[in-house]
Amino acid sequence: MKIKKVVALGAALGVALAGVALAAPANAEPVSNSYVLVGSDTLQDSINALTNGTNVSGSVVRTTAAGATLGNYDAFGSSVIQTKPNGAYFGRPAGSGAGVTALRASITGNPYTPNPNPANVPARVVTGQIDIARSSSGPGSNANSAGLLSYVPYARDAVAYAYNGSNSDLAALTTAQLKQIYESSTPVVIGSTTVKPRIPQSGSGTRNFFLSAIGVTTLGSTVTDANGTTPENDASVLAADEIIPFSAASWIAQSNGATGLNTITNANVKLGAPNGNAAYTGTGNALVPSDAFYASSFGRDTYLVVEYKRVNSSDPAYDPKLAALLNPANATSLTNTGTFASTAGAVKRKFGFLAPSSATPIRAYTTL
Amino acid sequence: MFKKNALRVAMVGVVAGTIIAVSAGAANAAVDPTTGSKGPLYIADANDGSLWPVTTPVPFSQAVIARASDTDLAAVFVGSNDSTGVETFISPRGQETNPSAWLAYAPNDFIQGTKNVSYPSMRLDDNINGSLTAVKAGGNFSVGFAFMKNNYLNVSADGAYFTNITVTPGTGGADPTWEFAVPSTTVPEQPPVGSAEINLQATTIGAVDGTLNLVAPTVGTAKIENPTIVGGLSTSTGTLGEFTVQDTRVVSHPGWTVTTKVDPFVNASDASKVIANTQLGLAPAAAANFTLNPLVTLANPQVAGSANYGGTGAVFAQAGNTSAVPESKFNAALTFVAPANMPAGTYNSKLTLTLTSK
């Protein structure tokens, strides 16, 4: 009998704590006055700058929806978010995959559960709560010309790897070495360094792209956080001799001081040059993306994903304000790729992005 | 009477003036010319900074920006430490520097590390605070930005830059559009602080050997700096430079008169553009750290806009025949106000000082 009471008390406490977390998020973010973006960590900082306003390009640039402010929610933070007035609190989509999944749920009305879900946030109906998903990778095999989603090119990024090393052993790993490191179930030694591979959480577009770029389909057991929640583009997680896929744009943005948070201050943390090709030129706070590296197999187009019919001018559901946000011809649209100081494209360049290789949207997902 | 025992010494100089002409006339006849802006403001395409065609109405949601110059894409709007913030605004005309009367507004910002502003957004939709309802209904307004202080409560000394606009309501759900007034003239290329060197090059003819002399530097340079907009007009200020009258005629001591003559100001690049000498204000004064003898009398200042130098010159200073004043040192404050209908540029003139014995 006593044992049963102890167990019951523990369960009751657990439920109570979870309830507190859901009812009163410690860091509530303002709700959006118009559209909502969630998803990729890689794209969040540059879009935060655009939606909140920035003068990083030399002129104040702010993206609004016909004057209404946007809500751009980070990939990481409090476990739940509320995105629109009186809307549901739901699990924060952490990464590209989770962002697209949440957008699909917002369209279908199916309950959304974040994945991964370390806080055990319950499923929530999020109908109409999300308008755009940030995705650092394309639709892959889900691409379909009759798709219900549209992947609108946002910018060109590249993925390298960050490492924490006191020597140059890990400075210029080849694709073959990287493949070996991430597939191996026994420690891989490069020079005098026993490499310890890390990987961002499973919903990360950066993770998926990097593994694809190096030809890895199954992670080796030396990747200890294969099923973990390691955030992407956060070099502060790196201990000595560890490496992790890292967005070149994010590295450049952090080094340039464009982001609010700088995780690359450790002197031993550096951005590796895959196959000897550096991702950037310049030093200090004046890094510039390398055209050659971004054009290589480590370069990737990134996207903003939206329901196709809302940006299809021949559809009754067409939303001209949403379409304008994604029209690159508009100087301050999210997808603009201009270079003049008052354009969104100029802001994105300060965040380490180049123009995408193609401006043509890709349709995907015939069913949601 | 001036010709009696006349000893004439002439000092001839060249006065070069710089003008910021603000909205003296609107290229867009549909919109009244702007008055009261701190300086010219040009509407441009946010995509590349190209000037927006004045004949093309601007959609309400079109991304457009303000430029400080129509010729220098890199020109910025210059602020000072008096400013702590920047806001864009739409206001009723005449209320541009009265934030409490603004209809809609939004925060903007300086260029990082400076108090200057570059390419502030002029898209009407971007003024997210207040209400755009009245604006979208159509009518006459001003759009621009202001340097602010006191936590955005007040416009700072750096002022507000704006242009008149006329809004046409949208029909059938279409975006409203607006047209704007443009400054009619070209702002001269100059340092971004608006400073310009205005040289006064003084030369003298050979001094007459006698007891009455006017001494001036053989080559003098004066600077007229900080052209600013006062009452919508370009106003530049400077000093004439020191000169001295020496009179050792202790026996006869007949007295003397200094007169000033100013030629019309001619545009350096277009001789057909001439500004009357009435626009040069001149305030006679003793030289710095020099006290004039009470027997010397300074003439009243000539006021820019209504100055009168007459056909033979206006009196600058004079001394009577009580006794000789051995040395009198002078200077003068210059104010040059450009008429609103004259183009910006450099204007040259000759200023002649004549010393005559009574």
DSSP B79-141: --TT--EEEEEEE-TT-TT-GGG-SEEEEE-PPTTSS-B-S-B--GGG--EE--HHHHT-EEE
Partner-chain residue, chosen from B47, B112, B119, that has the shortest CB–CB distance to A338: B47
Pairing of strands A36-39, A71-72: parallel
**CB atoms A62 and B121 under 8 Å:** yes
Q: Does A175 touch chain B (CB under 8 A)?
A: no
B45, B118, B133: best to mutate for the A interface, most A CBs within 10 A: B118
Of the candidates A59, A62, A329, the beta carbon closest to that of B118 is on A59
Q: Which residues of A touch B108 (CB under 8 A)?
A: 60
- Other Cβ atoms within 10 Å of B117 Cβ, number: 27
Q: How confident is the model at residue B184 (pLDDT cuts 50, 70, 90)?
A: low
Given an 8 Å threshold on Cβ–Cβ distance, is B126 in contact with A62? yes
Strands (E), A224-337: 242-247, 269-271, 280-281, 288-289, 299-307
Using the beta-carbon criterion (under 8 Å), do B46 and A64 form an inter-chain contact?
no
Q: What is the pLDDT of residues B304-329, one digit of tens each?
A: 888 998 777 899 999 988 888 888 99
pLDDT in tens, B245-301: 888 787 778 889 888 888 888 877 888 888 888 888 899 999 988 889 989 999 999
Of B108, B128, B132, the CB nearest to A60: B108
Tokens of B205: 């003819």
CA of A337: which chain B residue's CA is closest? B47
Q: What is the pLDDT of residues B121-138, one digit of tens each?
A: 999 999 999 999 999 999
Which A residues in the span 186-245 are in contact with B, Cβ-Cβ below 8 Å?
none
The mean-pLDDT minimum among A225-229, A301-305, B22-26, B62-66 falls in: B22-26
Q: Is A286 on the interface with B (CB under 8 A)?
A: no
* Shortest distance, CA A106 to any CA of chain B (angstroms): 27
Q: Which residues of B touch A319 (CB under 8 A)?
A: none
Burial of B270 (0-12, 13-18, 19+ CB in 10 A): exposed
* Per-residue 3-state assignment (H helix, E strand, C coil) for A6-32: HHHHHHHHHHHHHHHHHHCCCCCCCCC
pLDDT of residue B220: 53
Predicted local distance difference test score (pLDDT) of residue B107? 92
Question: A61: nearest CA in chain B?
Answer: B121
H helix runs in chain B, sequence order: 133-136
Q: What is the pLDDT of residue B196?
A: 33
- Chain B residues touching A68 at Cβ < 8 A: 128
A67/B63 Cβ within 8 A: no
Determine, for residues B120 and A55 on separate chains, whether the beta-carbon distance falls below 8 Å. no
The answer to whether B61 contacts A341, with C-beta atoms less than 8 Å apart, is no
CA of B49 vs chain A CAs: smallest distance (Å)? 7
Mean pLDDT by 10 residues, chain A (368 residues): 31 29 52 95 94 94 93 93 94 94 97 87 95 95 97 97 96 97 96 96 87 95 89 94 96 92 94 96 92 95 97 96 96 97 95 95 97
Tokens found for residue A320: 């001209």
Nearest CA-CA distance, residue A321 and chain B, Å: 10
Confirm or reject contact between A17 and chain B (CB < 8 A): no
Give the three-class secondary structure for A107. helix
Q: Do A67 and B128 make contact, defined as CB atoms within 8 angstroms?
A: yes
Over residues B197-218, the mean pLDDT reads 48
- Using the Cβ of A118 and the Cβ atoms of chain B, whether some distance falls under 8 Å is answered with no
Taking residues B42-64, report their average pLDDT.
94
Note the pLDDT of residue A180.
Answer: 97
Q: Which comes out higher in pLDDT, residue B31 or B176?
A: B176
Task: Report the SS3 class of residue B45.
Answer: strand
Backbone dihedral angles phi then psi of residue B248, each to the nearest 5 degrees: -115, 25
Q: Do A59 and B63 touch (CB under 8 A)?
A: no
Structure tokens, A132: 């755009």
The residue of A59, A330, A335, A350 whose CB has the most chain B CBs within 10 angstroms, and thus the best one to mutate to test that interface, is: A59
Kindly indicate the confidence band of residue B211, based on its pLDDT and cuts at 50, 70 and 90: low
Q: How far is B102 from chain A (nearest CA, A)?
A: 16
Under 8 Å CB-to-CB from B295, ≥6 apart: which residues?
A: B319, B320, B322, B323, B325
Chain B residues with at least one Cβ partner in A under 8 Å:
45-49, 61, 63, 65, 86, 106-112, 118-121, 123, 125-128, 132
Residues B320-344: b if buried by 16+ CB within 10 A, e if exposed:
eeeebbeebbbbbebbbbbebebbb
Residue B173 has pLDDT above 90, yes or no: no
User: Which of A56, A67, A331 comes nearest B132 by C-beta?
Assistant: A67
Scanning chain A, the segments in alpha helix (DSSP H) are 2-23, 41-52, 96-108, 175-183, 205-213, 248-256, 291-295, 320-325, 344-350
Ordered by where they begin, the domains of chain A are 25-154+300-364 (no CATH), 158-295 (3.40.190.10)
Residues of B in contact with A330 (CB under 8 A): 63
- Return the number of CB contacts < 8 Å for A and B: 66
Which chain B residues touch A343 with a CB distance below 8 Å? 46-47
Backbone angles phi, psi at B333, to 5 degrees: -90, 135
B45 C-beta neighbours (distance < 10 Å), count = 18
- Identity of the amino acid at B191: P
Question: pLDDT at residue B97 above 50?
Answer: yes
Instruction: Count other Cβ atoms within 10 Å, centred on residue B209.
Output: 6
